[in-house]
Chain A
Amino acid sequence: MSVAYETNVEEKEQEIEPRTASDSMVAVALFAKLDPIALAVGVGVASAIVVMAATLALLIEGAPPGEIVGYNLATIASYLPGFNVSVLGSLGGAFYGFLFGGLAGLFIAGLWNFTHIVVAGITMLRSDWLD
């Protein structure tokens, strides 16, 4: 059991050493793909925090007498139905932030990977023609 455990640990991650990296390893490392789900969650969570914090910051700051708190921020409700500058609205805003941020992350990773597949394909075709 202990031998198997040690083997598994050894087989985990290692770093590529830039000084000794072969040409193919440099190319493969630079053409690494983005994980779409991980990027979607990363951008989604960060965006959710931004929208929530922006809303709560206005509530904490308040408004002068006779003025509505966060009047301008509230106008994004025309794009985000149900959003308003309130504690409950900040949760709704966080949901939208996660949704749109997640879609942005998914899109960026997807198009990044697609671009690399296209470039790799063209490069392979060219090298075939040259050969």
Chain B
Amino acid sequence: MNKAVFNRGVALNTWALAITLAVGAGLALFFATVFSMIMHGSFAGGYLNLLAVFFPGYSVSPVGAFIGFFWAALFAGLSGAFVYQVYVRSLGEDTIKQVFYRRDAIDPPTRLTMKLSSRALGIAFGALMAIQLFLSTNWLVIRGTADESRHAALLAHYLPGYTVSVSGSFIGAFWLFIYSLVFATVVARIYNWLAGRR
């Protein structure tokens, strides 16, 4: 296999997923902000405003919607690039096996449908979520607001042993890795089952 072609394709796909998630997350936060302003007027953003802890300058306001778009797009773009890189590194050259390829296809086929590796996707998505929880928890610790972060502490309902502390960030990251791995596995299994039949 030509490594240069493979690496070029991987680089393009990394950009593709980064752009896809950046646009999606940016628009999602933008419209959530606008929706909150329309629905609640001057009382808008009770919980959304908490994002300012991670997104400097963000608030539920007309200008804040654009600032939120920028930050959400940046973080989601980096996350998309991370997920694709981990996904490909888990599979190696077998990445090109992850397609529905039929013997009766014309050679070379013009467009194939992708298969998802549940193992690689689970590891990539699990690692992303675990790292994000680890970093966001420790950011709260570093800025000295860990004791006041009662909303973050609510995660203990779902992540046994989690606290807004350095040790808690490791425990929470472990649980979130497991949950995200299961989530991605379910997505990949259902996707492959359906895509293989269409």
| Interface footprint category on A | 35 or more
Total inter-chain residue pairs, C-beta < 8 Å: 148
Which one of A21, A49, A107 contacts B186 once the chains associate, using CB atoms below 8 Å?
A49
B111 touches A28 (CB 8 A): yes
Complex CA–CA separation, A101 to B2 (angstroms):
37
B39 touches A43 (CB 8 A): no
Which one of B17, B109, B158, B187 contacts A46 once the chains associate, using CB atoms below 8 Å?
B187
Interface presence of B85 (CB below 8 A): no
A27 touches B5 (CB 8 A): yes
Complex CA–CA separation, A105 to B20 (angstroms):
11
Nearest CB of A to B30, in Å: 14
Interface size, chain B (Cβ < 8 Å): 58
Complex CA–CA separation, A31 to B23 (angstroms):
20
A33 touches B16 (CB 8 A): no
Complex CA–CA separation, A54 to B159 (angstroms):
11
A78 touches B40 (CB 8 A): yes
* Chain B residues, CB < 8 A from A104: 24
Interface presence of A10 (CB below 8 A): yes
A115 touches B19 (CB 8 A): yes
Complex CA–CA separation, A131 to B78 (angstroms):
36
In the complex, besides A32-B114, A35-B191, A108-B24, 17 extra interface pairs with C-beta distance below 8 angstroms are A12-B102, A13-B102, A16-B99, A18-B97, A28-B112, A30-B9, A31-B12, A33-B112, A35-B114, A38-B198, A39-B191, A57-B157, A78-B36, A108-B20, A112-B16, A112-B20, A116-B16
